Amino acid sequence: MIKKHTQEKKGLKEAFDVFEFCSEKIPAYKKFLKKQGVSAKEILKLKKFDLIPIVEKDNYLRHFEIEELVANKKIPPMISASSGSSGKPFYWPRGNDQELWGGILHSNIVFDIFKLKNKKVLAIVCFSMGNWVAGTFTLASLRHVADQKNISLSIITPGIDKEDVIRALKDFAPNFESVILIGYPPFLMDILHEASNAGVVLSLFDMYFILAGENFSEKWRSLLLKKAGVNDTEKNRSISIYGTADACAIGHETPLTIHLRTLAEKNKAFFKDFYGEISFTPTTVVYYPEKTYFELLSDELIFTTNTGIPLVRYNIKDKGLLYTHEDVVILLKKHNVYKDIPSAFLKNKQSILILKGRNDVSVTFYALNIYPENIKAGLEDDSLKDIVTGKYIAKVQHSKDFVDQKLVIEVELQENVEPIEAHVLLVKNSISNSLIHLNAEYRKLLASIQEKAIPEIILKPYGDADFIVKKSKHKWIKKNEN
């Protein structure tokens, strides 16, 4: 019988090494342990990793100056910023070791998954090249890939300037055998749409995708590939990376993880056993415990890694699951689907991380959480493919006496589509059906309050200011309003 969510033993030695390093070399961590009444020597002697206190931004990082959080009070050469719920940025340094690891991880994707060895390749980086980690880190990682002898890789960095991206596709990409488009999922979908409208014949490119920053469904992946003129059976041409400003690159999709997601969406029993009680298909990646050691505490992912600011048992506030390779094999056999997995997908025996997201990215409606994926699924319905782009903004409005609430969803229309009542009705029905199908709590709410649970739909023209990605990500949720 499977021991669900087994703690991965691989990487524990390296995690202890990070703890020992921090307890000796990081001034802030020494002070933190002393305040907590913890003896590093005693923990190392007992080999009890779970005795080490959890660190978070509020109890550790924000209590010290940056020089105290790094070794030898020397700030590493590259800085990125992240912004939490407070909106105040935290600055994360990184050094050559992190960018070299990024090069290794991206090489795994380019060579082992995309099979682009000995090809002439153009990588177009469409992440913001500002303070956010994705753009500059991806560029640095790809430079390491480009330095290898068995590929001719060139990199261009138009960032989130759509015109520059489309111009690169139209005027420069034909010089290459293959093109890798890299960026935030909704932005790349916009690029393909507008490039096609601009006369770029996307099917002429041998196109691949590296995605990051947001979960998406397998149906969305199929839509992306279809727009690019790629056969839907070639799902491995699109690989999502799990990365953060604090730990840089952590993991990525593989043919196995994509196959597991596809299998789960078709097999309800396997879905429930593999992902648990959740109303969408979560991001599923392999990760490398020797680089980032993960634990699971009360559904929250805790990690230890020696990055720009070394972190020991850091709570990033992401919810998820962990599986060893052996766990996954046992589960596949339990559901009689092990033989459905190509043997080549299973040969690497990698650890798997499931990222369920965070409560602060859901909209709270009558005390239940409605996740972005619940609404996205409705907008991905075939009946809406020529009407909406898939982008929306959800918010909850309260009545003056705070007795009633209203779920309001603003939806971006496709170019040259009018906001007529028939379109409003189509969108409303599709999103409502999706919520009913995917979210058990919403079904209960609908049975209780009936029409009050049905969302109000506001259609916005294509390119509306609220739907333009100005920095790093589109904001799917607005905080509750009166």
CATH of the domain at 139: 3.40.50.980
Phi-psi region of 262 (alpha: psi -120 to 50; beta: other; left: phi over 0): alpha
223 token code pair = 């839509």
Same domain assignment for residues 336 and 421 = no
Contact 312, 299 (CB under 8 A): no
**Is the domain of 321 the same as that of 438?**
no
Return the structure tokens found at 459: 């259609």
- Residue 29 domain flag: no
Per the CB < 8 A criterion, the answer to whether 284 and 354 are in contact is: yes
87 inside domain: no
Same domain for 185 and 318? yes
- 328's enclosing H/E stretch is helix 325-334
Are 111 and 248 found together in one domain? yes
Beta strands in 199-299 (DSSP E): 206-212, 238-244, 248-252, 283-287, 293-297
pLDDT band at residue 4 under the 50/70/90 scheme: very low
Kind and range of the H or E run holding 42: helix 40-46
d(CA 106, CA 362): 30
Whether residues 346 and 433 share a domain: the answer is no
Looking at residue 364, what is its pLDDT?
A: 76
The answer to whether position 388 is within a domain reads yes
CATH code, domain carrying 393: 3.30.300.30
Strands 89-94 and 178-183 come out as unpaired
Strand locations in 196-264 (E)? 206-212, 238-244, 248-252
Single out the residue of 85, 181, 96 nearest to residue 137, CA to CA.
96
Please give the structure tokens belonging to residue 177: 């055998």
- pLDDT per residue over 412-431, tens digit each? 999 989 999 999 999 999 99
Residue entry with tokens 């919403």: 442
pLDDT at 401 > cutoff 70: no
Same domain? 228 vs 374: no
Reply yes or no on whether the pLDDT at 2 is more than 50.
Answer: no
Average pLDDT rounded to a whole number, residues 161-169 = 94
Same domain, 144 and 190: yes
* 319 and 341 fall within a common domain: yes
**333 shares its domain with 378:** no
399 pLDDT higher than 60? yes
Cβ neighbours for 67, distance < 8 A, ≥ 6 positions apart: 27, 73, 75
How many Å apart are CA 10 and CA 5, to the nearest integer? Answer: 14
Task: Pick 84 or 219 by higher pLDDT.
Answer: 219
Q: pLDDT of 291-333, one tens digit each? A: 999 999 988 999 999 999 999 999 988 899 999 999 999 999 9
Q: Is residue 349 part of a domain?
A: yes
Using the predicted structure, report yes or no on whether residue 3 has a pLDDT greater than 50. Answer: no
**Low-confidence winner among 214-228, 338-352, 369-383, 392-406 (lowest mean pLDDT):** 392-406
Looking at the domain assignment, is residue 295 inside a domain? yes
Averaged over 127-139, what is the pLDDT? Answer: 90
324 shares a domain with 267 = yes
Give me the percent of the chain exceeding a pLDDT of 90. Answer: 72
Of the three residues 320, 343, 358, the one that is the final residue of a domain is 358
User: Three-state DSSP class for 211?
Assistant: strand
Give the C-alpha distances (Å, rounded to integers) separating 3 from 24, 83, 298, 335, 347.
36, 36, 16, 15, 22
C-beta pairs of 380-386 under 8 Å, 24+ apart in sequence = 380/217, 380/219, 380/220, 380/223, 381/430, 381/433, 381/434, 383/426, 383/430, 384/426, 384/427, 384/430, 385/223, 386/414, 386/417
The answer to whether residue 369 scores a pLDDT higher than 80 is no
145 or 364: whose pLDDT is higher? 145
Give a yes or no: residue 43 inside a domain: no
Q: Which residue type does 361 have?
A: V
Locus of tokens 């969510």: 5
Confidence of residue 160 (pLDDT cuts 50, 70, 90): confident
Region of poorest pLDDT, from 63-72, 81-90, 98-107, 130-139: 81-90
Q: How far apart are CA 416 and CA 339, in angstroms?
A: 48
Query: Are 180 and 198 part of one and the same domain?
Result: yes
Q: What are phi and psi of 14, to 5 degrees?
A: -65, -35
Average pLDDT, the chain: 90
Number of domains in the chain: 2
405-413 and 456-460 beta bridge pairing: parallel
Coil, strand, or helix at residue 282? coil
Half-sphere exposure of residue 312: CA atoms within 13 angstroms, side-chain side? 27
Tokens of 239: 């690989």
Tell me, rounded to whole angstroms, the distance of Cα 369 from its chain centroid: 19
| pLDDT band of 85, cuts 50, 70, 90 | very low
- Report the alpha-carbon distance of residue 101 to residue 107 in Å, rounded: 10
421 located within any domain? yes
Decide which of 399 and 315 is more confident: 315
Q: What share of the chain is helix, strand, coil (3-state, %, to 5)?
A: 45, 25, 35
Q: Answer with the one of 358, 378, 399 that is the final residue of a domain.
A: 358
Give the structural domain span for 427. 363-467
- The Cα 12–Cα 9 span in angstroms is 6
322 and 385 together in one domain: no
Q: How far apart are CA 340 and CA 55, in angstroms?
A: 42
Q: Is residue 71 part of a domain?
A: no
Supply the pLDDT for residue 440: 80
Where is the domain boundary, 321, 339, 358? 358
Give the integer Cα–Cα distance in Å for 123 and 127.
12
**Side chain identity, residue 127:** F
